[in-house]
Structure 1
């Protein structure tokens, strides 16, 4: 049914004239609302108090991708030397990554170092000088014999689902001590075997995501944050553009109410703007002394690449970044010596030994080792039985990782594998236990550090994990 009275007719000019007061009211409301919306958005990466007094403030994770061999580095096995070439006198796992043969002794000698007398193989003569600062965990074990699953387990606590990474959980729990830098930075990470999931935030807020510098295929001196320089706009123009976007976003917040995703986006824009000046300055190592550069091996082409990564880790740590990961890897799997163990492990150790020792010495001299937890290791170890004639297969059943600083017990070897180094046997430490212990040293209770998602409270340690008190000073 049509109305008998005609609708009023307005020209565009008349409509704008009659509505100007309304637009003015909306503008005023927007200005007033903008201030309240800005007040409602807080920096999600602001420092947070731990659950209890922390021993460590930050973590540097040195990932040896591919799986370094425990029986060739920090876990000597005299019986393996004695019985070289014989069939293994124990049952092999029901599920193996590949077929293996007889026992294979280590081609490297072990020597005792420091006051603690901890044995280290000749692969690591520089790190060996710092054994009195190390807590060597010889009884690590996991569940997955494949690189992808094992790396995800090490980083996220799960090898079957996409879960937040360890660095993301630490960022979520503690925030950062520098508002101009991310809480979590990963230097030259590998893009294989889990890729971005190894430093991703999954269902945690976006600000917990790791910020990658380059990747494993890029030399460390070329590893920068993508798009860190804007060649088209001046900083002043960027600031004006960002202010406009911020006003619109805050106006939307005022109208729509709390929106975690939008708030995270606003904060990410602001952080990215600040990083344009902070990050290049921090990555410029020209001001480091010649002695420091040599200590990290930057004067040697063999050690320069990983040495730069370790030096950057120290610079990030002292500037308040909460979690820094340094990855030793080529574009695939660096320590994965299924054959030619002698050549491969010799090359790999030569690239990282001096830089790691330099990092430990530098942190200690600056008083940073006391509250910086350094974690070293790979996704699993290697078998004490041979693959082919001169290689070792994947072994998640018993391997070695070590801690230094940050409240860990120095000059200690914790736990043990069996007499031949295949299985964790004494004081076994699962990946979940390692995660619980790292969080504990940071003052975080792994049972309380939870995030509700899809109707369930999730945590890094899933439904397992015990703090390993024997590795805490």
Structure 2
């Protein structure tokens, strides 16, 4: 961004109409530029009132994805129990992890004091599936059926070793909280597709097992140094979907409208005196909240969904707050023009009782994810919707605490973990990256979080080096200042 961009973004309505004499010429110029392919054009079928909107930040090349769904498994799923099959570990049961493999890696305080690091092979059966031959655990039978729709990355890695910095890192590109998350960057770049719904929505799904819930907070979906309008809007699973969206008893819409008009006038007076662009953000948020009083109840009312929907997503989709219900609402949001949906599913932090908790975790997400992908395909939406699944890091092959074949735990492991993408220009049936026989170190094609972010931005039409926002004298980027690369093998 530059000072001119900042000026335009803070422009008042009065100033806009004062300059309106140039409006016809500007519209003609934009039409010619769009015709010549120099700015993005709206496509037929784009949802919502914002269908004619062009991205606030022009894309650098033609985007493959125009919407994103990010399914974050909070706590760090165990890659060797789900996707990173290591049959050789059966012969290593209860033997110590060799120092040649650990290589002096920094450990969390939860296992750094252990006298031994006994290897705990996965107790679950694996089989190869699809044309790609991807190995998938028996706990994910529905996911196994769609491996050829998915793009697997088995060599993700990070420097963060504890949850708060690790989640912040993979969501915002920095271990220190306060930066914009990926959803805010997408909102900032591509803008809205619907004037009556938020551009960026957050859902916190309730797991069926709540044995070890990891704390998450609104800092993860804040807009950071981007304008406040790009922060995620959190929908609740009980009561009003959004706090205070409905008028109090005895307050009709007419009175609320008059109240907002009065507030707008006061805010405009404040802006003329102070000139803070966030004043306009506040005005727009009030107006959006007023429009959402009509749009959100219709969105969240799934009573009209046919029985075939619940056969696809599973019966849990009838339960408000469940992962299945959240991802069904996500499909309804995408249809109505929501640009970015983030779902957090908790309880993947398996320091103990992995055998007792992992099956319920997988059951929560397995069929709903499959049903969601199939639903998008049937509706012709998968090609331009990017779906991301994964956690903030992986788990250790050695057991935390005691070891038995029926019950063991795994500590945090940042050196390697598995994620997958689907649709939105990602390469279906791809399997990228390899780890050693202990699922401990990457031996081929490492993918850092920065590389992953650069690749996602590429799919959205942005060069991560040029997609910036001016803040504190610097051109800030999602990928930060360290080198990052687009993983072209992940692109269709």
TM-score interval for Structure 1 and Structure 2 normalised by the shorter chain? 0.7 to 0.9
Q: Is the 8 A contact 1:41 1:263 kept in 2?
A: no
What do you get for the CA RMSD once the two structures are aligned?
2.5
Equivalent-residue separation in structure 1 for 2:433 and 2:101 (angstroms): 21
Match of 1:364 among 363, 377, 389: 377
Q: 2:402 matched to 1:422?
A: no
Deviation at 1:409, TM superposition (A): 0.6
With over 3 angstroms needed to count, the CA separation of the structure-2 counterparts of 1:417 and 1:244, relative to structure 1, is same
Structure 1 partner of 2:66: 57
Match of 2:150 among 118, 129, 134: 134
Structure 2 partner of 1:408: 426
Deviation at 1:251, TM superposition (A): 4.4
With over 3 angstroms needed to count, the CA separation of the structure-2 counterparts of 1:39 and 1:418, relative to structure 1, is farther
Q: SS at 1:369's partner residue? A: coil
Deviation at 1:387, TM superposition (A): 1.2
Equivalent-residue separation in structure 1 for 2:365 and 2:232 (angstroms): 23
Once the two structures are superposed, residues 259-291 of structure 1 have per-residue CA deviations (whole angstroms, 9 ceiling, x without a partner) of 311111111111111111101110111111111
Once the two structures are superposed, residues 82-138 of structure 1 have per-residue CA deviations (whole angstroms, 9 ceiling, x without a partner) of 322222233424310132612111111111112222111011001111101010100
Runs of 5+ consecutive residues of structure 1 not aligned to the other structure: 1-32, 215-219
Equivalent-residue separation in structure 2 for 1:71 and 1:112 (angstroms): 14
Match of 1:94 among 105, 108, 111: 105
With over 3 angstroms needed to count, the CA separation of the structure-2 counterparts of 1:64 and 1:161, relative to structure 1, is closer
Structure 1 partner of 2:486: 467
Q: 2:342 matched to 1:349?
A: no
With over 3 angstroms needed to count, the CA separation of the structure-2 counterparts of 1:350 and 1:461, relative to structure 1, is same
Q: 2:171 matched to 1:149?
A: no
Q: Is the 8 A contact 1:297 1:303 kept in 2?
A: no
Structure 2 partner of 1:13: none
Q: 2:275 matched to 1:266?
A: no
Structure 1 partner of 2:398: 385
Q: Is the 8 A contact 1:221 1:308 kept in 2?
A: no
Equivalent-residue separation in structure 2 for 1:189 and 1:158 (angstroms): 24
Q: Is the 8 A contact 2:320 2:326 kept in 1?
A: no
TM-score, normalised by the number of residues in structure 2: 0.83
Deviation at 1:294, TM superposition (A): 2.6
Q: 2:84 matched to 1:75?
A: yes
Q: 2:93 matched to 1:84?
A: yes
Deviation at 1:245, TM superposition (A): 2.3
Deviates more, 1:392-401 or 1:336-345: 336-345
Q: Is the 8 A contact 1:399 1:424 kept in 2?
A: no
Q: SS at 1:188's partner residue? A: strand
Runs of 5+ consecutive residues of structure 2 not aligned to the other structure: 1-10, 21-48, 207-212
Equivalent-residue separation in structure 2 for 1:301 and 1:268 (angstroms): 31
Once the two structures are superposed, residues 118-161 of structure 1 have per-residue CA deviations (whole angstroms, 9 ceiling, x without a partner) of 11101100111110101010000001111111011011111124
Equivalent-residue separation in structure 2 for 1:147 and 1:205 (angstroms): 27
Equivalent-residue separation in structure 1 for 2:133 and 2:17 (angstroms): 57
Match of 2:14 among 14, 26, 36: 36
Deviation at 1:34, TM superposition (A): 8.4
Deviation at 1:323, TM superposition (A): 0.9
Q: Is the 8 A contact 1:297 1:304 kept in 2?
A: no
Deviation at 1:425, TM superposition (A): 2.4
What pairs with 1:177-256 in structure 2 (closer than 5 Å)? 177-188=193-204, 193=215, 195-214=217-236, 220=237, 222=239, 224-232=241-249, 233-253=251-271, 255-256=272-273
With over 3 angstroms needed to count, the CA separation of the structure-2 counterparts of 1:378 and 1:437, relative to structure 1, is same
Equivalent-residue separation in structure 1 for 2:462 and 2:216 (angstroms): 26
With over 3 angstroms needed to count, the CA separation of the structure-2 counterparts of 1:291 and 1:301, relative to structure 1, is closer
Q: How many residues align?
A: 431
Equivalent-residue separation in structure 2 for 1:309 and 1:189 (angstroms): 6
Equivalent-residue separation in structure 2 for 1:300 and 1:452 (angstroms): 42
Deviates more, 1:364-373 or 1:237-246: 237-246
Once the two structures are superposed, residues 184-207 of structure 1 have per-residue CA deviations (whole angstroms, 9 ceiling, x without a partner) of 101027996451111011111000
Equivalent-residue separation in structure 1 for 2:356 and 2:12 (angstroms): 63
Deviates more, 1:49-58 or 1:33-42: 33-42
Bigger Rg, structure 1 or 2: 1
What pairs with 1:301-340 in structure 2 (closer than 5 Å)? 305-329=322-346, 334-340=347-353
Equivalent-residue separation in structure 1 for 2:146 and 2:323 (angstroms): 18
Once the two structures are superposed, residues 198-237 of structure 1 have per-residue CA deviations (whole angstroms, 9 ceiling, x without a partner) of 10111110001000112xxxxx355711111112421122
Q: 2:301 matched to 1:284?
A: yes
Structure 1 partner of 2:457: 439
Deviates more, 1:244-253 or 1:62-71: 244-253
Equivalent-residue separation in structure 1 for 2:239 and 2:381 (angstroms): 27
Deviation at 1:40, TM superposition (A): 8.2
Equivalent-residue separation in structure 1 for 2:215 and 2:444 (angstroms): 30
Q: Is the 8 A contact 2:317 2:328 kept in 1?
A: no
Deviates more, 1:37-46 or 1:168-177: 37-46
